[in-house]
Each structure stands twice: as structure tokens, then as C-alpha cells.
Amino acid sequence: MKRKREGEGEREGGRERERESYVVTILSRSHADRNVYPSAGVLFVHVLEREYFKGEFPPYPKSGDASNDPITFNTNLMGYPDRPGWLRYIQRTPHSDGVLYGSPTAEHVGKPTIIEITAYNRRTFETARHNLVINIMSTEEFPLPYQAEFYIKNMNVEEMLASEVLGDFLGAVKNVWQPERLNAINITSALDRGGRVPLPINNLKEGVYVMVGADVPFSSCLREVESPHNQLRCSQEMEPVISCDKKFRAQFHIDWCKISLVDITKVVMVHSNRPDPGTGILPEFGEYNPPSESLKGRDYFSDFLVTLAVPSAVALVLFFILGYSMCCRREGVEKRNMQTPDIQLVHHSSIQKSTKELRNMSKNREISWPLSTLPVFNPVSGEVVPPIHPDNYETTSMPLMQTQTNLQNQITIPQQRPSGWCCRRLLHYRILSALLCVNVCVRL
């Protein structure tokens, strides 16, 4: 990245000089290559300190204020988008340092690994870059024959990578194991082993796997995990009884059911014949010959007929067949009457007439008015009181008896019919009932 030139005159007058020194100004923003020399089979940790890159970015706007710009890092193998398979990177927040860690193997010995580290200032959006050259060295101690992997429940991977914490853990293991040589081989987050992200309560941690190697066999304390009693407790999801757990408990909570003890001297190596991956470059097939510009035209009329015209014709035929069946094949009332016997039509007509007459008679039937709607009167004075009273009417003298006689201001009450009228109506009902019974018997 280019440095900001101070002064407007210098910026206007130095255009040509800037083009000539373009490469030089870019390198001024990039650190020189930094070389590290890790050993194969031993844990490698490299901290990307934010303070190391703050000098590459412009100062904070307010003089005197501490610069606390959010800075993130991007790491990749030079010429590739990602890091090597053995190298991992972690940074929790933009205000914390990044950490590169991993365990190189003997396959990487003698092959310099160049890691491009790019720092991003999230306030000014400026970048700074430098290269980290990892020269992996061989060691006679690799691999250590006895390896033990511990699962620590109360640690995150970035906490365990701190030199003080890792040193305390190795010291506790050395007190239990009593080896001559003890090295940390690898550190892996529990999330990389399929673990779940813990809930943000009670200061829960993700957990971390730490593999250490030594040159002497495992101590009796570490062998206690393999006892049948402790294996049974582990199968029942109970903590095993380990005599040396108190040496770790003060700072490290170890899940002894997940400890792994490996003796490399007894492991049978299985060599598989893997195919040669090759160079990763496709073979040469010559130049690509695109199709010529003079392409033949294509007639889409037949495709149109098959796709649209044929289904439309079939749908139209089906529409006419359905319309003819629903509209032109109906019998009609006249045809139905011609195919029906006359006696059945007469019976049906008489039943219809009788039903219609009964319905008309039921509509014309008069019923006495409800007594609750009639006016009331005082039995002593004979005064008529309407059902709805004015506001100034005294309700204490309201009579409780209701009248059934006609007065001047009352509604006309239907008069009782003479006795002969009921006899005639009863006779009429009986005649209609007999006629209906005859019609039903004839139809049966």
C-alpha cells in the first residue's frame, strides 16, 4: 500500500516520481520476510500481535487518545487461497491477537512454507502485509514413542496456546509422568472434533484436546484409566477415580474418560498404495475451436404445432363434446310429460293443488293477539292505561289485570267464530286427507 504524502504541492509535483518508485512504496508498507524454524512433530505457535501492525496505519484522529482500531488478519499459503493442512489460525475478536498454530510432520521437512499475512484495519480500511517463512527442521526425537492426548474441559484453544498456560500444563504432566523429554505435539479445539458450541452461560468453554509425547512408558497413574472399574464408571457416564487428578484440578479440569494413550512402538503401520496425485495440471488437448459463425437456421413451426396447436385442438374437441352432452341431450319437461302415464299426472296434479290450498289456508288463519300487547285498565275506576307510559305517569297505581273488551282507544280484538264455521273447516280437512290417501294407494 502507498504511504500518504504530506502536502498538496508535493502530491501534485511528484506524479512521475511516484510511478517510478511504485514498487518501492508498496514494499514500504510490507514487512520484510520473517523466518521461523519449528521442529517436525512439535507444536508450533506464532502470535500475530496487533501492536506489531499498528505502526503501519495512520494515527488515531484525536491526538493523545490510545489507538484501539479493530484489526483482523488473513493468512494463506503464497499462491494459494488457504493455509497448509497442518496449520490452523484463530482470532476471537478484532481487538485480540491472532494465533497460527499446528504440528508439522516429517513430510514437510526441508520445504520452506511461505505464509502471507494481511492485516486489515477495520476503521480506515487500510491493509499491511508481510510474509512468514516457516522452515521445518528435522529432529532425532521425532516421533516420541509414547503419546497421550488429554481433553481439558475448562479451556478454549486460544487460552491453551498461551505460553504460560501451556507451560503450566506440561509441568503438571511432567510431575505425573516423570519423563526425560516431554513435548507438546498438537492442540485441537473440541469444535474441530465435532463438539458443540457451548451456551454463553456460566462461563462455559469449548474444550481443547492436547497431545503430549514422552520417551518413557506411561505412569501407573495414567494407566488407572484402563482399569475395569474406571471403564465401567465411564460407560455409566460417571467420573473415574484417578489418584493424580488433584495435581491438575487446581487449574485444568480433565475428562479422564476421553484420555487416549498410544504406544507407537506397538502400533502396526499399514501402508496403503495411494495413486499418484500428479501435478494437478490438465494434459494438453490443443487449442479450443469455437463453433463457426455461419450456423444453419432452424424452423420452429413444427415444434410450435406439437407444443401448442395439438393440445389446443384436443381441448377444443373435449369442450364441444361436454357442451353437447350438457345442453343438447336434456329431456325437457314436455318430453318427460309425454312419457308419463295420464293417471300419474292427474294424481300428481291433485296432490299439488291440495298442498297449495292447505298452505293458503294456514296463511289466512287468524290468531288472538297476545295479552301482553293489549292495554290495561283499573278495575275500580275503569281508566285505560296504554302499554307504553309517559314519563310523568305514576306507576304505583298501575293495575295488574288485562282487558278483553273493546274500548274506544283499544286495538280491535278478533271475534270468536261461530260453531258452524269450525265444523265446515273440519269437514274440509277430512275430505282433503281422504283424497291424499286415495292418491297414495293408487300410486302403490
- 187 and 132, same domain (yes or no): no
Helix residue spans in 309-341 (DSSP H): 310-323, 333-338
295 has pLDDT over 90: no
Same domain, 125 and 38: yes
Half-sphere exposure of 74 (CA within 13 A, CB side): 11
**CA-based nearest residue to 186, from 204, 211, 203, 216:** 211
For 382-427, the pLDDT digits (tens) are 565 555 545 454 544 544 444 444 444 444 444 444 545 555 666 6
The chain-wide mean pLDDT, for the chain, equals 76
Residue 400: inside a domain: no
Per-residue confidence (pLDDT) for residue 297, from 0 to 100: 78
Answer whether residue 89 shows pLDDT above 60.
Answer: yes
Assess whether 153 and 240 both reside in one domain. Answer: yes
* CATH code (residue 63): 2.60.40.10
Buried-state track 320-357, b at ≥16 Cβ within 10 A, e below 16: eeeeeeeeeeeeeeeeeeeeeeeeeeebeeeeeebeee
pLDDT, residue 3, reads: 38
215 domain-assigned: yes
**Distance in angstroms (rounded) separating the CA atoms of residues 32 and 132:** 9
Residue 261 and residue 216: Cα distance in Å, rounded? 13
Q: pLDDT tens digits, residue range 179-203?
A: 888 989 999 999 988 888 888 788 8
Residue 20 counted as domain residue: no
- Residues 161 and 251 both lie in one domain: yes
Same-domain status, 104 and 168: no
Please report whether residue 85 resides in a domain.
Answer: yes
21 vs 120: CA distance, rounded Å: 24
Q: Can you tell me whether residue 361 is helix, strand or coil?
A: helix
Other Cβ atoms less than 10 A from the Cβ of 129: the count is 17
Cell of 33: 520476510
Exposure on the CB side of residue 288, measured as CA atoms within 13 A: 1
CA atoms within 13 Å, Cβ hemisphere of 396: 0
Task: Please tell me whether residues 210 and 251 are part of one structural domain.
Answer: yes
Q: How confident is the model at residue 67 (pLDDT cuts 50, 70, 90)?
A: low
Residue 193 falls inside a structural domain: yes
| pLDDT tens digits for range 113-171 | 999 999 999 888 889 888 999 999 887 767 788 999 999 999 999 999 998 999 999 99
Q: Which of 118, 159, 113 is nearest to 252 (CA)?
A: 159
Which residues, 6+ apart, have CB-to-CB distance to 340 below 8 Å?
Answer: none
**Most confidently predicted of 9-13, 213-217, 412-416, 419-423:** 213-217
Res. 376 pLDDT band, cuts 50 70 90: low
Last residue of a domain, one of 266, 295, 314: 266
For residue 148, give every residue at least 6 positions away whose Cβ sits within 8 Å of its Cβ, in sequence order, or none: 173, 177, 211, 212, 213, 214, 218, 222, 259, 260, 261, 262
Burial of 410 (0-12, 13-18, 19+ CB in 10 A): middle
Is the same domain home to 223 and 254?
yes
d(CA 66, CA 135) in angstroms, rounded, equals 37
Residue-range definition of the domain harbouring residue 71: 34-136
Number of structural domains found in the chain: 2
- Quick check: helix, strand or coil at residue 231? helix
pTM for the predicted model, two decimal places: 0.54
Residue 365, pLDDT above cutoff 70: no
**Centroid of chain to Cα 411:** 77
Q: What is the pLDDT of residue 41?
A: 86
Q: For residues 117 and 213, state if they share a domain.
A: no
State the amino acid at position 192 in one-letter form. Answer: D
Count of C-beta atoms within a 10 Å radius of residue 234: 16
Contact 213, 227 (CB under 8 A): no
Tell me: pLDDT of 220 over 70: yes
Lowest mean pLDDT of 27-41, 255-269, 365-379, 392-406, name the range. 392-406
Residue 97 pLDDT > 70: yes
pLDDT at 361 over 50: yes
Q: Do the beta carbons of residue 41 and residue 103 sit within 8 Å? A: yes
Q: Is the peptide bond before 143 cis (omega within 30 degrees of 0)?
A: yes
pLDDT score recorded for residue 386: 56
Q: Is residue 273 part of a domain?
A: no
* Segment among 18-22, 49-53, 313-317, 365-369 with least mean pLDDT: 18-22
Boundary of a domain, candidates 239, 266, 293: 266
Out of 73, 107, 136, pick the residue that ends a domain. Answer: 136
Q: Note the pLDDT of residue 282.
A: 67
| Same domain (yes/no): 119, 231 | no
For residue 113, which of 52, 35, 185, 32 has the smallest C-alpha distance? 35
Q: In this structure, what DSSP letter does residue 82 have? A: S
Confidence (pLDDT) at 374: 55
Question: Counting every residue, how long is the chain?
Answer: 444
Longest dimension (CA), the chain: 137
Radius of gyration of the chain (CA): 52
In whole angstroms, give the CA distance from residue 61 to residue 69: 11
Same domain? For 260 and 150 the reply is yes
Averaged pLDDT for residues 4-10: 42
Q: Is residue 1 part of a domain?
A: no
User: Angle at Cα 368 formed by Cα 432 and Cα 430, nearest 5°?
Assistant: 10
Q: How far is CA 38 from CA 105, 149, 242, 295, 385, in A?
A: 11, 21, 35, 63, 118
Domain assignment present for residue 123? The answer is: yes
169 lies in the same domain as 258:
yes
According to the model, what pLDDT value does residue 118 have? Answer: 92
Helix segments in 14-62, DSSP class H:
15-20, 22-28, 50-54
Same domain flag for 201 and 179? yes
